[in-house]
Structures are given as C-alpha cells and as structure tokens.
Amino acid sequence: MASRVHIGILGAGTVGGAVHDLIVNGHLARFGVDAEVVKVYTRTPEGKPRYGTSPELFTTDPYEVTGHPDADIVVEVLGASGPDDLCAQKDWVVDALRNGKSVVTANKALLVAHGDEIWTTARECNQAVRFEACVGGGIPIIGPLTQSLSAERPAAVYGLVNGTSNYILTEMAQRGRSYGDALASAQALGYAEADPDADVGGRDAEAKLLLLASITFGARLEPGAIHRKGIERIHAIDFLYAARKGRGTIKSVALARNAGGALEAMVTPMVVPDDHFIARIDGVTNAVFFKGEVSDGGSPDAGDWDYVFVGPGAGGGATAVAVLGDVHELVARSGDTPFLPVESIVSGVSSVRPEDDLRASFYVRFVVRDQSGIVGEICQVFGDKQINVSEIWQLEHTEEELESLVGAGKGGAASDEILPFVITLEETSVGQLRQALERIAQKDFVLAEPLWLPVWRA
C-alpha cells in the first residue's frame, strides 16, 4: 500500500516550480509514495504556470502553508536577498515545526544564519529538518556523511561547491578569457545572477562549507569566522603561470580539515596540481571530497581523499531531485528520531584555528614597473618576515597579455613598462604573509596589489 503524504511548498520560483512538477508527475510514486501538494506560497501567484488551472493551491500568506491542517511536510525553497528575508523565512520554518510539520529546505543561508533556533525548535517539537539540497545541489552528500560514512573519523572535507565560480575559472583556464568576459558568459547562460557577488565573492561557498563543517566536525561557525577570498582578482595570466611553471590550474576550493586537533577552514582560490582529480572538475560541475580514518583509530590510507562525490551543483531540476529525496527519506523513516546536525559527533577537533594562523605554501603574483633591483627588494622583505622564497617564475608575455594588465593598478604605466612575475613561498602563515605584502605594496614600483593564493597540499 502506498504511503500518502501531503506537502506544502514555500516558494514557486525555479526550484519550487521544479519540485511541484516532479510531485505532480509522480516522481515519488515509484517508491510507493502518493504525494500531493496542498498549498504553495508565492508573492506573485498570478504569474505561475499552474495558477490558471489550480488557483486555489496558491497563497500570498506563508502561514497558510506552515499551518495548513493537511500538510505533513513543508518544503522551503525560497531565495533570500538579505537579513530581513532570512529572519522572516526562519519564522515560517519555526511555525511549520511548531505546527507538527517536518521541514525540507534548500536554503543554506537560512540554516547558517538561524540554524540554532531551527534545530532547537525541531528537537522540542520532535520534528525533522532535512537539507540535502543545501550543499551540493544534485550531489547527495549530507546523507553519506551522516550515515554511510559514520564509521569514519573525519580528517578533511573539501571541494568545489559553487558552480558559477567553477564555470568562470574553467573558461579562463581553457579559453584564455578575461574574468569579465567569463562572468558575462556565465550570466548569459543563467549560471550567474545579475548581482553575482555571493557566488564570485565566496559567500555561497562559505555557507555551504559551514554546513559541511557542522556535519563533519560538529563545528558551529558563524559567517565571517573563516578565511574567505573570492575569484574577482584572478587574471588570465595566473593560469599561464600555474600551468607552465606550476604544472597545475586554479580552482576555488572550500576546505575544512583537522590539523592536529584544530579545525582549519577556508574558502579561497588555490593553485592545485594537474594530477589531482579536483583539477579536472570543470564547468558548473561540483565535487565534494572526504578524507577519514576508521573509528577504531586506524591510520588513514595514503592520499588526500577516500571518497569523492561529483555531480550537478545547481539548477532547478537537480536541486528539486535532492529535495524530493529528503521527502522520501522522511516518509520512509516516519517515527524515527528526527535528524539533526552536530549531534553525537566524535571528530577529534577541539578548537578553530584563527585565520592569520593558517599555514600554507603560497603563490604570489606581482605587477610592477620594470626596473632593476625589484626582485631583491621584495625578497628582502620576505626574509625580514622570516618567510623563505621557493621559486621565482617569469614568463615571456605577449603585447596583448601586457595590455590586459594596463589600468589594473596605479601609475598609468604603459604595457612596455609593466613586468608581471610570480614568487612562490615555502610554508608560512597567512598573518606573516599579509604583513610582508603590506610593506611590499608601499614600494613605488608596485603597480597593483599583489595577488596571493595558497598552493594545494594534502
């Protein structure tokens, strides 16, 4: 006999519409679930495809969804443009839980901003909150981390979790496009919003990483508490240096790892070697890597990951499939203990490492006015800060490549006066590097703020 479930939906945009379509088209029927949508909240019901035939399903009052007497599960798939939106959405989710509804959400920003209140309410009301769609879009990652890999003691979780940034960097690497051209292409294809800051600035990836860190390490972190750098200042020539001198490429990586009992967490573009699988994840595809050691204390295997999950990271269809996967799990596990994060996690992490204490080898790209003695002055500053130089990279650049750097910095230098080059550094701290670069940036020959990126290490 089929299990019958009634669903209320908060949101009727790209994802909400896809969820509604999948339910109407019987997506869950093959699992023995007879699902029916009983109410949909949207601010503009008249413009929705199903409004013409079923206007009674739609409401402009979210509480008609969260308090609907027939709804068993409330699906929350609303976008948020700021703190006020998130606060209102939190109130609606809390109301659904207090009305005896379980909640499935795709809203990572909501959980990062108001997760504590939502988890507390769910626990008090003995209701479940599921959020598979929040991190990897169509990639199943929350379930595997909390169930399939529960026997592993986590060592690291990392990956490419923002399809927009990965698409832009792929275009720059493979086609030599400028950042601006690659971003425009992403916007034209619908991969980037008109205001792309959350994606290219790393805030979207940061929210996803905070959820991953809570699941994997039991760490409760606030936005802004970890090192975050966007991709806006990456230039096409950086890919030339990474490929020709560093035998690698540049990817925007979200990383959380156990470093001797301290959690290191960051979202940043990194120079990654060509022989790492992450270097071959292109376009809007996402990938999440997990490294662990078995719970009996055994040593980790060689390498820097044990499992990798790859798939579509965004899009209405992929996200909707993940949402309905959570709906199916709730129906199948009816009566079980509600699923909540940061419960009964043994990770070996007791603190969070401050941003300035993060350590790595670094790639530092300079754009300077071409004159003698520059490299010596720069290396002297690094030496004064107890930072060891590893290599100095310099390529022959075309006139077009040099012209692309004109105007990027100060001084109005012509292309024949510009000298780009890269210095790679042995392992040092972010704090030491920043102090050194602050001094170097004051030199009159420096035409642009130096770009620094961590170099991947296992």
Q: Which of 208, 229, 291, 385 is catalytic?
A: 208
Of 320, 326, 325, residue with least CA distance to 339: 326
What would the two tokens of residue 20 be? 């509604």
Q: Report how far apart, in Å, the C-alpha atoms of 12 and of each of 267, 316, 332, 446 are.
A: 31, 11, 26, 51
48 is catalytic: no
CA count, 13 A, side-chain hemisphere, 30: 5
Closest CA to 21 of 85, 89, 77, 61: 77
Neighbour order of strands in the sheet with 58-59:
58-59, 33-41, 3-10, 73-76, 102-105, 129-130
Q: Within its chain, how far is the Cα of 202 from the centroid?
A: 7
Task: Annotate 246-289 with DSSP letters as a single string.
Answer: TSEEEEEEEEEEEETTEEEEEEEEEEEETTSGGGG--TTEEEEE
What token pair was written down for 221?
Answer: 């972190």
Contact between residue 15 and residue 319 where contact means Cβ atoms under 8 Å apart: yes
Spatial distance between the Cα atoms of 402 and 134, rounded to a whole number of angstroms: 41
Q: Which helix (H) or strand (E) holds 223?
A: none
Can you tell me the distance from the alpha carbon of 392 to that of 423, in angstroms, rounded to the nearest whole number? 5
DSSP calls for 77-123: ----SSHHHHHHHHHHHHHHHHTT-EEEE--HHHHHHHHHHHHHHHH
Mapped onto helix, strand or coil, the DSSP state of residue 58 is strand
Residue 130, C-beta contacts closer than 8 angstroms, at least 6 positions apart: 102, 103, 104, 105, 142, 326, 329, 330, 339
Could you identify the residue written with the tokens 């860190």?
A: 213
| Structure-block tokens of residue 451 | 């770009």
- Provide the annotated active-site residues: 208
